[in-house]
Structure 1
Amino acid sequence: MPRSFSRPGRLVHSILEWMNEQYSVRAFLHLLQEGLFVLPDQAPSIVRISTLLREADIGWNPARYQQQLNQLVRKYEYKISSTSKLQRRKDWEGKWRDLLWLKDWFIELFRKLPAIDSIIHEKEMLKSIYFIVENYATTISTIDQSAKETILNHLDKLTPYAVEALNRYDMFEKVSDLLNSIRIHKSAPKPGHLHIDSYQRGTYYNRSHVFIVGADNQSFPGMPSEDPLLLDEERQNLNSNLKRMKEKGEENQYTMLQLLALTDGPVSISYCSFNVHENRPVQPSYLFLQCYRAVTENTLADFKELKNLSSPSIPEDTFDDKDYWLSFLNQQEGYRLEDQVKHEYRNVMYGSQADKARRMEQFTEYDGRVNIDVSEYDPRRNPNRTLTAGKLEKLASCSYAYFLEEILQVKPVEEYTYDSFAWLDAPTRGTLLHSIFETFYQRLYKNRQKPSFLLHQQELHTLAHQLIDEQKVVQPPPNERVFQRETEDIIQACDIFLKEEEEFSQTNDALYFEYSFGVGEAEPAEIKLPSNEKILISGKIDRVDQSTDGSFHIIDYKTGSTYNYKDYESFKGGRQLQHFIYALAIEQHLKLEQGAVKESSYFFPTSEGKGRRFSRKQDAALRKNGLDILEKLIDVIKSGQFSMTDNPNDCHFCQLNSVCRRSFYDADTLEAKQMDPAQEGVRKFKGVRNYD
């Protein structure tokens, strides 16, 4: 059998993936959670290790394991020393001890593993794989034990001849090829045993019973493909006797016919009619159809007739515990088992109730309807609950997503994902550009200068490179080529920013940078709603300018795509509220006259955004509509009715898809839930959508 059929074999694959990702935390946790890696007895639990490694923000690179774990150790030492609560101190001391163990264990482990540099020595890599398999491979079955011994023996034979030093890509390809060839649990045919082998070797055995499995159209006779290095046409031009790749299927058919012709005893042929992993039906091969025609003596039989053949999902005989439990599904008293399972496993019962309720047209607690504590969650009633523009936009985009994040406190797992072709993700890149622009403008403001492309381009470039290098220390790039490409992209964004600002500053003066309210020691801003009630807002405005006419202009830097921004859409159904909220907030916080902020704009100073500005005039009509939107959104919270978005496009970049499962709803059922006239919160949510 291939090594991938065993746990040690899959461990080898996971080790190579971990190394290839520069020892990323994501890849390590994957092999740990799959049960391939046995830790020492004194090790923390897998759940604790996962929590601590994610909390440490390591990402990848062995040096960062030690650096970030040391920082987390010091963080917990400070927490322990500064708390007087005994239970909290006890919990933190437990985490602190686990961190110390984890840090020391990784230091020792990385001493045995090769550095993933531009050049890697083959012998070092093979020795490190040997060390991990020998000391940490999980072996539960005899196949696992046999696989472990086979892999170690294979590595023993390869290591003395491993003398090459290759670049990382060639090295991983070579080592993968060497280890992929390993077959486990090999033996010659034995009496009383099933002997499993490829049909291509079946002609060498004369067995009394032959079973051909996997006879579906994807597996046999194989999909024709071209050799990318030498196409069939080129083969023919070189020599007409060279085999063409498209003839491979014909060769496979001929080999199978040889096997059938040489077999004296009965032959059974089968295929799996349904792929449970991909959740799709599987079609039989032409070979299966021909065998069916031969057995039934019906030469006119076709694939439609094959569909009527019985395809039992439950085996007639019991070989293991799975077969035993599946056999109950055929019994007429199957409901008894269902009731017993639900009684023993309460979550199964709750899941069944949720599934049933989600299929109903009524808006239920399983769709986001809850009895909410208004004194806690309604910001008009709770002066300690401060909202942000982002939270309100989330509430307007999909109130169910707001419910998951803000009410149930469901948070997606945040971890660095290693990508050999990318360095900074969109949020990190945006934060870095914000820092560059803010620092640059603060220097200009201090020197009482306005931006000039001719005078300040080099200064801006120098600042950008300085902050990029600082980010490089915090988050190492996968390689120098990617680092240079993304650096050039950031420098290009700086040039676009400077050119646009040179023109814009002719009629505007920058006054405030990263202006905060409700953050840190700063007081939150108050917004008065049409009901004369108030809500508190916190946030940070990228920049506040003052125009030559004395009015104020709010600028928000955007470093992504302009796709969702249009000149004629002020609110986009409540999804874009920041421009309006910040205008009210800065007027209240700076005690300006109402209407002092005449304009807010989204500025896209990147190659993707092409320096575009989308302006929103903060006139009386816009303010009236905006306040009505805010009132309706707060009423949604008050009602405790958090319906899912009515636009699936809102789901494309949502990190809560796996929890929400909106795509599993029937379209008509979901629409009926969202149009339930008896639900005030649903009506309010639909009312927000009316504002473009």
Structure 2
Amino acid sequence: MDLIDQLYRKINEERLTPKVLLVSSYAQGHQLLELICNRHGALFNVEVKTIRGIIEAKAKLELFQRKIHLLDEGQAVWIIRLLMKQLAEETSECYITHSMMKPGIVEKVYHAISEMRMAGICSEDMKMDYFTNPDKGMYLQQLLNRYETYLLEHGQIDFGGLSEYLKHGTDGAIYLALSPTGWTRVEHQMMEKLAGKCLCFLDSETPFHISEGFSKNRFTMFHATGSLAEVREGIRRILSEPEALDHTEIILSDYERYISVIHAHAEEMGAACSYSNGLPIAFCAAGKAAAGILDWIEDGYPVKRISEMLRHGYMSFSDERWSRGEWVRILERSSIGWGRERYLALVHPEEIGAEDQEQSTVLYGYLATLFEGLPEGDDWDVLRLLEWVSEFIKQYAPRRSQDDVYVGNTLQELVIRFSESPRECMPMDLALKYVREMLSGIRIRVSATPKPGAVHVSSLHNGGWSGRERTWIAGLDQGTWSVSAKQEPLLLDKERKVLSEHLVSTQQRAQKIRNERESRLSLIRGEVWLSYSSYDAGDKKSQSPAFEMLQVFRLQSGDSSLDFATLEHSLGEPYSVMDMMHESEVSTPFNNTDLWAGLLLRRTFGKSADGWQAMLQTYPSLAQGYRAKELRMDEKVSAYDGFLGDQSSYPKQLEDSSWSAISASQLEKYANCGLQYYFHYVLKLRAKNVAALDRTRWLQAGERGTLLHDIFRRYIEDVTECGKVSAKHDRDRLMAIVDMVIRETTLSIPAPNRHVLAKECEEIQRDADIFFRNEAGKTDQPCFFELELSTSDGEPMEIELPGGIRIQLKGFVDRVDRIGPHEYRIIDYKTGSTNKYKPSEYFSGGTQLQHALYSVAVEQWLRQTGIDPEAKVLEAEYYFPTERGRGEYVRRTQNRREELSAIVSQLLESQNRGIFVPAKNANTCRWCDYQAVCGSHSEWMAGKRDSSINMDLLRTLLEVERFG
């Protein structure tokens, strides 16, 4: 007689007497009753209870009357931690010091205390000689004593102390329990007190591998190369009979490892699943937001974390005037990078451009609220941090699904649940670990019992009760299936034996787990699939099937002498993700991958299908990419090398030989690399300017250059009264301006720490000192600063080059000095080195045009505005007034304007012909923002530049490159 029949007979012995079925979980009890009803018909007068549930219910009134609060496990852990901290602070030689109080160790200590309480052990019962280490024994004895005292003084009790609040049973019910129960000594005592002689134990099933009923099932076994391949093969088999979806239970030996794969595949095929242990909260947006915001804190508040959450929709701002993309863009443009102090400084409306003022004001408010209430420094309150995370989810995480709502509500319940727990401040990393532990305990989509119309997915710990016609046990490899018998270091087996006969040893615990599992699985009836992964892709090693799989194989064949080699031989080749080894089998394809595998395996006149041609015909975009690769390898320049043809739309040629507004840097960029120019100015693609965390650096190169330019401009303007008088140099005044500009910059760009700030300030002061020494020896008159090349109404000014070529030029000139009557020199500050500004490279193949173009523009501007009708710009200077540039300068006499005109006209003509080919010098690609887009295109293009077939097309561009 199996367990189901035993239960049915016992329930019907005294039909009018109430029965209470005591089980480890309500789900187990309800499924057991359903199995009985399916076999024998309706039942009545039966109630399902867990031992903890009924004991707490019976003690509830007494606890209320005595005003005693019952602790749950989470609350008790915090009390244990508090007491551990007190012990650690009282002596430096404490067995567990304060630095050792990590979440894992605290959890182990709590379980040791809990085990002793559930075995009926009091602090008075413990002696130091019971322990292999007397210090450990003293520590546990003191901790248990303090725990008992704490509960007494605070009017609290844990489950292990409920016995005295229970009254002897008077309800007249018969209590039915499955033996072995797995109950502790205290649980036995409390149930005997409640039930008395009305407690009845029923023997569980025999192990499945010797069960006669289990042996009558229909067995199927297979193995696969990895858990992913194993799951895919199982789903292929399930899909072959889609009407049997809600007749299937999947039991996972390693629930956490397999559940993500199962869930992803179920979502892909649109199959409904119920999950006995639920899913981690990372499977919903609110869960991702909670994990993401904790990562944001731990990583030092990098803005990229916020941007990623906004981009993926895990986080949102309530103001819907701006899209997620617009919020991301303003954050990325702000250059926050990292550090909480940078957020409000860099997103302050005064630091944002005028066009984004309104949005930046709103964003500033959101960020101020975000940081409000967030702990600072080294003292972090875990419960305060939990409250902050709960509020963050409430305010910023979108609630798009019931899962999101559930996570938000559960977090609020956790805050309430722990509100009365002892509070403690600790380092940030430790507080984050505790909060993550709390979040890991939240599960979504928990369905302990199977749902109609859905595949039921359970764990090896609670599966096998569903009574479904098909059961697939996945992950039957030896490592996953085995039960760990590793001893707990706080309570070794020899110590358990001396302390109390009711403390279970690790070997006994492991054996109980195996016995319970094997007897539970023996209830399975119908079709049984057994599978395992024969290869661990992570560890890159083979795996053997569990011994239990061999036992089933022997049971199926009736031959007890069969070994593992025979089993593995009978399984044949393992299944793979894109299975190609079992083409003779009729298998339902799971997705496009399986469809392709089937198509490629079809035989046509003894040959395999041409997979490459099939792919190109099916996916036009892939075919286009293949064609691009072929044309790039071809000798002739094509559209895939940057030749767009004569119909190029940019820049548009205007009437009277004039072109639309351009800048010197645009022309230089085009001469340097046409493809880079096309990406930047035509397609307007921009690399993300996200500041990277560097704790050894304050300013990036561009930020440092801007700061130095500002210092130089302010100083020269100050000592020349904006160019009206000769310079009256004053080093103290320069250093005061340096300090002022640095202070202003630190408000908008906070330094990572004061040491880095001091170091870079010293470097800036040395640069300023070099600038001062160079300027003090000059006799020229600075007269214009940050001169904008524009008309009176703010439009780009038109300049005329020799040959009648007119272009509209836009830009700023750092400085203009008067070097003689009606004679001028333009100056461009450079904060780098002089390496690329060689005397022989006047135009440098068109990549250095700024000095010549700006000279023409300034000269014509001075004349057109009437400031100096006879003005002549004779020189242009690249000035390097920094420590790196050693105060050097490169001057170029402006006497090659006919060549300048030819270069500009040829570059513009080449643009109009649609030629945007890669750089001639492959070294240019090393610092290019678009390297990921074009790869080694410059190297592929080298041969095409020299080929005669492309000479006519590239003629004007090649002529420019010859100008030195």
Q: Could you tell me which of 672, 687, 692 is aligned with 1:397?
A: 672
Is 1:603 aligned to residue 888 of structure 2?
Answer: no
Partner of 1:314: 578
Partner of 1:49: 327
SS at match of 1:366: helix
SS at match of 2:685: coil
Matched to 1:647, the amino acid is N
Q: Show the 5 A alignment for 1:356-435.
A: 357-370=631-644, 371-372=646-647, 377-378=652-653, 383=658, 385-414=660-689, 419-435=694-710
Contact 2:909 2:956 in 1 (8 A): yes
Please give the per-residue CA displacement for 1:419-444, whole angstroms capped at 9, x wherever unaligned: 54443332232122111111100111
Is 1:128 aligned to residue 409 of structure 2?
Answer: no
Contact 2:636 2:949 in 1 (8 A): no
Please give the per-residue CA displacement for 1:211-243, whole angstroms capped at 9, x wherever unaligned: 354457xx469xxxxxxxxxxxxxxxxxxxxxx
Partner of 1:642: 916
Structure 1 residues 361 and 11: alpha-carbon distance in aligned structure 2, compared to 1, 3 A threshold: farther
Contact 1:542 1:557 in 2 (8 A): yes
Please give the per-residue CA displacement for 1:82-139, whole angstroms capped at 9, x wherever unaligned: xxxxxxxxxxxxxx7x88986766565444x516568655543343234445776689
Is 1:194 aligned to residue 454 of structure 2?
Answer: no
Q: CA deviation at 1:404?
A: 2.7
Matched to 1:164, the amino acid is C
Distance 1:552 1:43 in 2: 51
Q: Could you tell me which of 764, 767, 771 is aligned with 1:493?
A: 767
Q: CA deviation at 1:368?
A: 2.3
Partner of 2:600: 330
Distance 1:197 1:178 in 2: 34
Is 1:211 aligned to residue 530 of structure 2?
Answer: no
Partner of 1:566: 838
Structure 1 residues 681 and 501: alpha-carbon distance in aligned structure 2, compared to 1, 3 A threshold: farther
Distance 1:197 1:131 in 2: 44
Contact 1:386 1:538 in 2 (8 A): yes
Contact 1:380 1:533 in 2 (8 A): no
Distance 1:560 1:105 in 2: 39
Contact 1:361 1:673 in 2 (8 A): no
Matched to 1:605, the amino acid is P
Matched to 2:327, the amino acid is I
C-alpha RMSD over aligned residues: 5.0
Task: Count matched residues.
Answer: 579
Structure 2's unaligned 5+ residue stretches are 1-255, 258-279, 444-457, 465-471, 485-509, 519-529, 552-563, 581-586, 602-608
Q: CA deviation at 1:412?
A: 3.8
Distance 1:76 1:535 in 2: 32
Distance 2:547 2:478 in 1: 15
Please give the per-residue CA displacement for 1:582-607, whole angstroms capped at 9, x wherever unaligned: 22222332248999444322222223
Is 1:163 aligned to residue 420 of structure 2?
Answer: no
Contact 2:344 2:364 in 1 (8 A): no
TM-score between the two structures when normalised by the length of structure 1: 0.67
SS at match of 2:640: coil
Distance 1:115 1:519 in 2: 54
Contact 1:380 1:535 in 2 (8 A): no
Structure 1 residues 100 and 374: alpha-carbon distance in aligned structure 2, compared to 1, 3 A threshold: closer
Distance 1:143 1:479 in 2: 42
Partner of 1:114: 374
Contact 1:514 1:540 in 2 (8 A): yes
Matched to 2:600, the amino acid is N
Q: CA deviation at 1:511?
A: 2.6
Partner of 2:904: 630
Partner of 2:234: none
Is 1:179 aligned to residue 436 of structure 2?
Answer: yes
Partner of 1:63: 344
Q: CA deviation at 1:678?
A: 4.1
Structure 1 residues 524 and 494: alpha-carbon distance in aligned structure 2, compared to 1, 3 A threshold: same
Q: Could you tell me which of 884, 889, 892 is aligned with 1:617?
A: 892
Q: Show the 5 A alignment for 1:460-479.
A: 460-479=734-753
Matched to 1:644, the amino acid is P
Instruction: From the CA coordinates, give the structure whose radius of gyration is larger.
Output: 2
Matched to 1:640, the amino acid is G
Structure 1 residues 39 and 498: alpha-carbon distance in aligned structure 2, compared to 1, 3 A threshold: closer
SS at match of 2:699: coil
Partner of 1:271: none
Structure 1 residues 594 and 373: alpha-carbon distance in aligned structure 2, compared to 1, 3 A threshold: farther
Matched to 2:389, the amino acid is I
SS at match of 2:720: helix
Contact 1:551 1:596 in 2 (8 A): yes
Q: CA deviation at 1:380?
A: 7.5
Contact 2:375 2:381 in 1 (8 A): no
SS at match of 2:473: coil
Partner of 2:305: 27
Partner of 1:555: 827
Is 1:450 aligned to residue 731 of structure 2?
Answer: no
Matched to 1:534, the amino acid is R
Q: Show the 5 A alignment for 1:435-446.
A: 435-446=710-721
Structure 1's unaligned 5+ residue stretches are 78-95, 222-255, 268-290, 297-308
SS at match of 2:772: helix
Contact 2:663 2:809 in 1 (8 A): yes
Distance 1:512 1:475 in 2: 29
Contact 2:653 2:659 in 1 (8 A): no
Matched to 1:388, the amino acid is S
Please give the per-residue CA displacement for 1:199-221, whole angstroms capped at 9, x wherever unaligned: 599574999865354457xx469
Contact 1:583 1:618 in 2 (8 A): no
Matched to 1:399, the amino acid is G
Matched to 1:68, the amino acid is P
Distance 2:544 2:402 in 1: 33
Distance 2:784 2:792 in 1: 17
Q: CA deviation at 1:461?
A: 1.5
Matched to 1:211, the amino acid is S
Contact 1:400 1:644 in 2 (8 A): yes
Structure 1 residues 519 and 56: alpha-carbon distance in aligned structure 2, compared to 1, 3 A threshold: farther
Distance 1:141 1:321 in 2: 26
Contact 2:302 2:693 in 1 (8 A): yes
Distance 1:563 1:373 in 2: 36
Structure 1 residues 46 and 319: alpha-carbon distance in aligned structure 2, compared to 1, 3 A threshold: farther
Q: CA deviation at 1:29?
A: 1.5
Percent identical residues: 22
Distance 1:420 1:121 in 2: 26
Contact 1:519 1:539 in 2 (8 A): no
Matched to 1:501, the amino acid is E
Please give the per-residue CA displacement for 1:514-535, whole angstroms capped at 9, x wherever unaligned: 2221277467555544543222
Q: CA deviation at 1:662?
A: 2.3
Please give the per-residue CA displacement for 1:481-509, whole angstroms capped at 9, x wherever unaligned: 44433333322221121122223x1x433
